[in-house]
Amino acid sequence: MKYTSTKPAIFISRPNRFISHVLVDGREEIVHVKTTGRCREILQEGAAVILEEADNTNTNRKTKYSLIAAYKDKILINLDSQVPNMVVYEGIKDGSLKEFQKITRLSREVTYGNSRFDLYFESGGQKGFIEVKGVTLETDGIAMFPDAPTERGSKHVYEMIKAVEEGYAGFIFFLVQMKGVEYFTPNTVRDPEFTKALRLAQEKGVTILAYDALVYEDGIRAGNPVKVVLEKNVPNRLSPTAQ
């Protein structure tokens, strides 16, 4: 997935989840933030960030830029919550995701029950759904989701369980929007209900996958599989600034 126009900036502050103040070309600018996640351990004053320049045809837009990525030390993390399902869709289409090599049909944003799953696929005689979650929280090499409680996320997991019980194949796909993580685990400290739902999903036959991503200042694509750890005794390494 490629961005058409990007620009480096320096992060100053984030007064609310929708906007940030950044320094661009020596002047302060208010920009849209393309994630509602907290990202406190990433968006710190002085951090190098990447902006996407807005489409000039959108006359209703109030900001010139959107914040789409940030450096945490030397690691570039994509923060755009709109791209993970596109990245997975493209990865299936180009054959880079080994679990989905024989897909004969692939559709985006498909309604099932009371939920809308990110992807629907058919492979031979099997039909199935894929729900994609973007992961931006990392501490000491451990990737975790969510970084804030998500009732909607748990709802999706329970709906996926229902789909599997009715004969569909079901996948929960965590796209870690960076490289260099050791493994993925659900964030029990932040959202124990989501962890409970995810463990139940695995017991019921839902496939839990995680991949890292190759992140560039002007794009992102799927990388390699990441180990998924759901055991109850896994330490949750949250830093004080991420609490």
Q: Where residue 40 sits, what CATH number does that domain have?
A: 2.40.50.580
pTM of the model: 0.92
Task: Looking at the structure, tell me whether residues 68 and 108 fall in a common domain.
Answer: no
- Check whether residue 29 and residue 94 sit in a common domain: no
Q: Of 59, 78, 97, which residue constitutes the final position of a domain?
A: 78
* 156 occurs within a structural domain: yes
Same domain, 89 and 194: yes
Question: How far is Cα 132 from Cα 115, in angstroms, rounded to an integer?
Answer: 13
Cα–Cα distance for residue pair 8/4, rounded to 1 Å: 14
pLDDT at 234 over 50: yes
Is the pLDDT at 191 greater than 90? The verdict is yes
Claim to verify: residue 72 and residue 89 sit in the same structural domain: no
- Do 59 and 109 fall into the same domain? no
Distance CA 153, CA 60 (A): 30
Domain count, the chain: 2
- The mean predicted confidence, pLDDT, of the chain is 92
Tokens of 189: 């400290």
Q: Tell me, what's the pLDDT at 243? A: 39
- Residue range(s) defining the domain that contains residue 65: 6-78
Q: Per the domain annotation, does 142 fall within a domain? A: yes
Residue 168 lies in a domain: yes
Specify if 1 maps to a domain: no
pLDDT band, residue 202 (cuts 50/70/90): very high
Q: Are both 11 and 113 inside the same structural domain?
A: no
